[in-house]
């Protein structure tokens, strides 16, 4: 369940960029492993928590994810 003001997205596709490979190798903004990689993705909003975000449900979106990766 999303937190207030957040959306839950069913990810259809996520990118594999050279920067992802470099992050895995520890050469570009290294992350402590184990970690889920991937920064961008596309998908469909399946759930929203809050009146101001309900209009997003059912829409296809593209996004940039900070923190948890999109490959998961």
In a domain, 72, yes or no: no
**Domain that includes residue 57, residue range:** 7-64
Dist CA 61 CA 8 (whole Å): 11
Q: How many domains does the chain have?
A: 1
Q: Using alpha carbons only, how large is the chain's radius of gyration in Å?
A: 14
Selection from 41, 44, 47 nearest residue 66 by Cα: 41
Q: Is residue 21 part of a domain?
A: yes
Q: What is the pTM of this model?
A: 0.76
User: What pLDDT does 9 receive?
Assistant: 94
Query: Each residue of 15-47: pLDDT tens digit?
Result: 888 888 888 888 888 788 788 888 899 999 999
Contact predicate 8/48, CB 8 Å: yes
pLDDT given at position 66: 76
């Amino acid at each position: 369940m999303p937190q207030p003001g957040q959306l839950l997205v069913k990810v259809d596709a996520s990118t594999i960029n050279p920067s992802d490979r470099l992050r895995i190798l520890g050469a570009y903004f290294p992350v402590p492993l184990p970690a889920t990689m991937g920064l961008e993705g596309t998908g469909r909003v399946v759930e929203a928590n809050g009146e101001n975000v309900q209009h997003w449900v059912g829409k296809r979106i593209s996004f940039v994810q900070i923190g948890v990766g999109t490959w998961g």
